[in-house]
Chain A
Amino acid sequence: NAGVTQTPKFQVLKTGQSMTLQCAQDMNHNSMYWYRQDPGMGLRLIYYSASEGTTDKGEVPNGYNVSRLNKREFSLRLESAAPSQTSVYFCASSEAWRTGWGFGSGTRLTVV
């Protein structure tokens, strides 16, 4: 039982490059989320998908786009990476708003 799987685990980008972070869950959860974690800032919500076919902005959506490809997969895209996007990114999924939350192990992204 893999839970929530994120790829890649580490990535270094140059300013202006683009990339997509992949996330897949095997728990048949309806909702999926992307958070970023920065020192002293806690976890901040970037985008979320309450159910397949819907996406909504979170607290810090600027510079990101998302795609809910199907019920299992939710990707996060950086079109033109900036140093301010250096962070650890976590994907999560939940059965419902309050229950069954699970997190991936994170993607550590450095933009130089």
Chain B
Amino acid sequence: TQLLEQSPQFLSIQEGENLTVYCNSSSVFSSLQWYRQEPGEGPVLLVTVVTGGEVKKLKRLTFQFGDARKDSSLHITAAQPGDTGLYLCAAYYSGNTPLVFGKGTRLSVIA
């Protein structure tokens, strides 16, 4: 059974600060997705990373896929209250198994 662990579980920061959220796997994964979920809504896909060492940027969000394909990180620069939400990583391993989700990091950005 693959395990996907996210840290930290909770994060509360002031507007303008930087932060990094981590996602670590017990096994090598083929690709990894990052989602953001707001209260009362379903997860919304932010990015998919597929190549070891890959870095993708989405405005103030930077996503990195570890070289060993067992970890990923999400870095937010100059956080804003609109970044508040639950951030989920989800990995696709191989074969006929759907995405496995981490438990998420709940981010609160205070104005």
Contact = CB atoms under 8 A, between A and B. Distances in A.
Given A98-B30, A98-B33, A103-B43, 14 more contacts: A35-B101, A40-B103, A42-B104, A43-B43, A43-B88, A43-B101, A92-B42, A97-B92, A97-B96, A98-B31, A99-B48, A101-B33, A105-B40, A105-B41
Nearest to B103: A42
Interface residues of A, number: 25
Interface string A57-76: 01000000000000000000
Contacts of B11: none
Interface string B27-60: 0001101000000111111001010000000000
Contact of A58 (B44, B50, B98, B102): B98
A56 B98 CA distance: 10
Contact residues of B: prevailing secondary structure: loop
Interface of A: 4, 31, 33, 35, 40-45, 48, 50, 56, 58, 90, 92, 97-99, 101-106
Contacts, number: 51
Given A97-B92, A98-B30, A105-B40, A42 B102 contact: yes
B99 interface: yes
A41 B42 contact: no
A92 B40 CA distance: 15
